[in-house]
Structure 1
Amino acid sequence: MRFLLIFIWLIFILSCAPATKEDQAKNWLYYYDLGLSALSAKNYSEAIANFFIATQKAPNEPKVWNALGIAYMEVFEYEKAESAFRRALEVDKKFTEARLNLGVMYFRKKDYENALREIRTALADEAFPHKHIAFYYLARIYKALDNQNLYLENLRKATAYNPMFFEAQLELANAYEEMEDYRSALDVYRNLLNNGINTPQIELNMARLLFYTEDYENAKLFIKRLIENKQADASQKAQAYELLSQILVREQERLISRKMASIQKEREIPKAEEKIQGRPPKEEPISKEKITNQTEPKMAKHERETENKPAEVHRERVFRIQLGAFSSEERAKAFKEKIEKSLGIKELIIVEQLGIYRVLYGSFKSRAEAEAQVRRLRSYNLYGFIVQD
């Protein structure tokens, strides 16, 4: 009797044991996970093999076909990638991720007409959670088509839908810099810094832009931070030292220009006094030095003109927390009202920009104050980003 009980107990234990490799091989998820691991390691050959097996075991799973399409696209097998993405959409017409990837594939093939069609279709799906990526690729298509206005418009939308979208933020800042709109480029980098995103490249770019705007003191501060940053590579540090040399030269030129302007002013005062008293001004002998100094340096002239201009009104910046971004005002209002009624949170406003309705919370004078509110909102399961107005 005891032997029978032990035998029954062993059978029970074995039936509860983890699945063997043979059992796992029958499960499409096993191959799908292997494919994802290989894809993240850029081992596309292995990824394709595992995704293909998964599609044979689960032909009605759209995400398996979509993953296979991505792997094919990475090795430039565009016909096979298109077939896989379309199979995913045949299985599930609402699988918008495959629609977006199909548009990206057309973009890589430089088939911009089809790329625009597929990505616009993806953006029409209000339930699609990756609209920021769709707007980013839409921007890149318009850049390839040499439409600067739509390129910038869609880049701004990509960053508005997800302020933490680092790749789009960098491209937007670079676009502003190419246009010589250095102030706007600086604002992009400041938003990244305000959200805790900092890299040696951002520090280098900030220093360069501050140099362009002649804010040499702050430029030197960012150079110092970069040189002391252990994550900065040798190339970035070499660029920082070169930039520092240019700043020191400019500062020296500025100092010389001021001295020359001061000397010129001192020479003009006695002449003015003689003219008032009715005496003809003394003629000074023409010297080599005078000929050299007849033309005022551009730097000094620019500074004097700047000094004579009325001071610009300084608009104090405030920090807000973006809780959501919507393509329609109705959805933004519904989201705002839901938060106000269910959580009792006030101080919510809706700001429209480029057809995007952003729901913002609060008005804080410092980033630290805004960060404290971000942590508090997380207790309500609200996750927002800090933006600067």
Structure 2
Amino acid sequence: MRKILIIGLSTFIIGCVTPQTTQEGKDASFYYDIGISYLNVGNNSQAIASLLKAIELNPNNPEYYNALGIAYFNVGEKEKAKEAYLKGLALNENASEIAVNLAVLLASEKNYTEAIKYLEKAINNPNYSNKDKAYYNLALIYRELGDYNKFVENLEKAIAYNKLYQDAYIVLGNFYLEEYEKTGLSKENSFWKANEIFLKAYMLGLDSPDIIFGLGKSYFLLNKKENAKYYLEKLIKKTDDKNPLKLEAKKLLEKLEAEYASVDEEPVITKKIEIKEDKIIQEKEVVKNPDIFIDKKAEEKPIESQVSQQNNPNPETVVKLQKIKEENQDIQKSLKYFYIQVGAYKSIKMTEDIINKLKKLNIQPEIEEGVLNGEKIYRVVFGKFESYKEAKEFLDKNLTPNKIEGIIKFKKE
């Protein structure tokens, strides 16, 4: 499903204004804070009134004009919003948040040339901390202009600046999934590229419905039926009935079931490999990028039973299956314990929500530091289980009913 183009405002951070020391400054700051509070709850009328009062008391703070511009933009008063942004930039030409928000406004008016100018100005400011959002907006503009190379290039830049930028993964993945004729790749290679993008996001802990659906649909289009089935079913369990992706997932599953009814497939065999970044072993999760598939039935079916289900399996297949069995047995001998990971985050602050949810379930999680693609991340983990089955049962009983996703992993001696 293509993500509708909406060039969103940069994140507005409350409390970024330099504290005032005069009585007049305190009064202006008070009205500004009130205005921001109204802005955050969607009461734009009260926000505008409070921000105008703040500007009346202190007309020299560019942040006040930025907030006022956002409020006016929200109610469709684009000329007033533009005037506010320009006044803010006149006070501080290096106010990159204002430049980006002005670019968003100009892009909404299809004034792409001017919008690009302000976005590039923000990007070239070495002190601007939200370059990922500037690159993201720049990418969306280039898509509207039909320059798909620059569209992809700037989305990749956005991800480079923020490895956890979920919207950028979704837009880029959907481009390769649904607009393959514009990618310069063959249809199949474009689908594989989409799968790679969604998979990277998922492995970083970004598991929104759009990401999971992207995985399910890409596997479906690549005729990886078991993989597609797993992620589509996961999406259906994860989302409520109001989410349109749930209906799309059900439609794809119906097609899969119809194909299953008419075609007998060879079993899908998975194996375990070592994830080199943090030397953690993942069971039944990674086969070979981009073929990632968690086989929920693997623990219930020994290798021998999978062979016996095939009609007259050839000797080469039997040898391969036996080799996989031996590899699995060797790995099992070196296991220390299984545990559950419920997320990977770029800061400790971002782990607070999931930790509080787990504690309400009487689960005491731990935070592990790790490095992924050269960046520090924090994983929320818990549990010491003797077997994969024990960990899976705990996950299904305690986490899944509470809509908490977990990945079962194990550590090696």
Q: TM-score range by the shorter chain?
A: 0.5 to 0.7
- Residue of structure 2 in register with 1:251 after alignment: 260
- Residue of structure 1 in register with 2:145 after alignment: 145
Report the secondary structure of 1:110's partner residue.
Answer: coil
Distance 2:125 2:239 in 1: 44
Distance 1:52 1:171 in 2: 37
Give the structure with the higher percent strand: 2
- Residue of structure 1 in register with 2:159 after alignment: 159
One-letter amino acid of the structure 2 residue matched with residue 86 of structure 1: L
Q: How does 1:189-228 map to 2 (within 5 A)?
A: 189-228=198-237
Change (3 A) 1:114 1:373: closer
Change (3 A) 1:385 1:186: farther
One-letter amino acid of the structure 2 residue matched with residue 197 of structure 1: L
Distance 1:372 1:37 in 2: 28
Distance 1:372 1:44 in 2: 33
81-90 or 220-229, which deviates more: 220-229
Distance 1:25 1:63 in 2: 13
Which runs of 5 or more residues in structure 2 are unaligned? 1-22, 181-186, 267-272, 279-339, 348-366, 379-413
Q: CA deviation at 1:126?
A: 1.2
Q: CA deviation at 1:149?
A: 0.7
The aligned length equals: 261
- Residue of structure 2 in register with 1:283 after alignment: none
Q: What TM-score do you get using the length of structure 2 for normalisation?
A: 0.56
Distance 2:73 2:177 in 1: 32
Pick one of 250, 259, 263 that aligns with 1:241.
Answer: 250
Which runs of 5 or more residues in structure 1 are unaligned? 1-22, 259-314, 321-366
- Contact map agreement 2:174 2:214 (CA 8 A) in 1: no
Report the secondary structure of 1:128's partner residue.
Answer: coil
Q: CA deviation at 1:223?
A: 2.4
Distance 1:316 1:183 in 2: 22
Change (3 A) 1:383 1:239: same
Distance 1:42 1:220 in 2: 40
Quote the RMSD (CA, aligned, Å).
3.5
One-letter amino acid of the structure 2 residue matched with residue 384 of structure 1: K
Q: What TM-score do you get using the length of structure 1 for normalisation?
A: 0.59
Change (3 A) 1:107 1:316: farther
Report Cα offsets for 1:159-194 as digits up to 9, x if no partner.
111121122221111111121412222222222222
- Residue of structure 1 in register with 2:376 after alignment: 384
Report the secondary structure of 2:93's partner residue.
Answer: coil
- Residue of structure 1 in register with 2:6 after alignment: none
Report Cα offsets for 1:43-90 as digits up to 9, x if no partner.
211211111111111211111111111111222222211211111112
- Contact map agreement 1:210 1:216 (CA 8 A) in 2: yes
Distance 1:170 1:203 in 2: 10
- Residue of structure 2 in register with 1:132 after alignment: 132
- Contact map agreement 1:200 1:231 (CA 8 A) in 2: no
Distance 1:101 1:191 in 2: 30
Distance 1:45 1:199 in 2: 33
One-letter amino acid of the structure 1 residue matched with residue 92 of structure 2: D
Q: CA deviation at 1:131?
A: 0.5
Distance 1:34 1:150 in 2: 40
Q: CA deviation at 1:241?
A: 2.4
The alignment-based identity, stated in percent, is 30
Q: Which structure has the larger Rg?
A: 1
Change (3 A) 1:55 1:384: farther
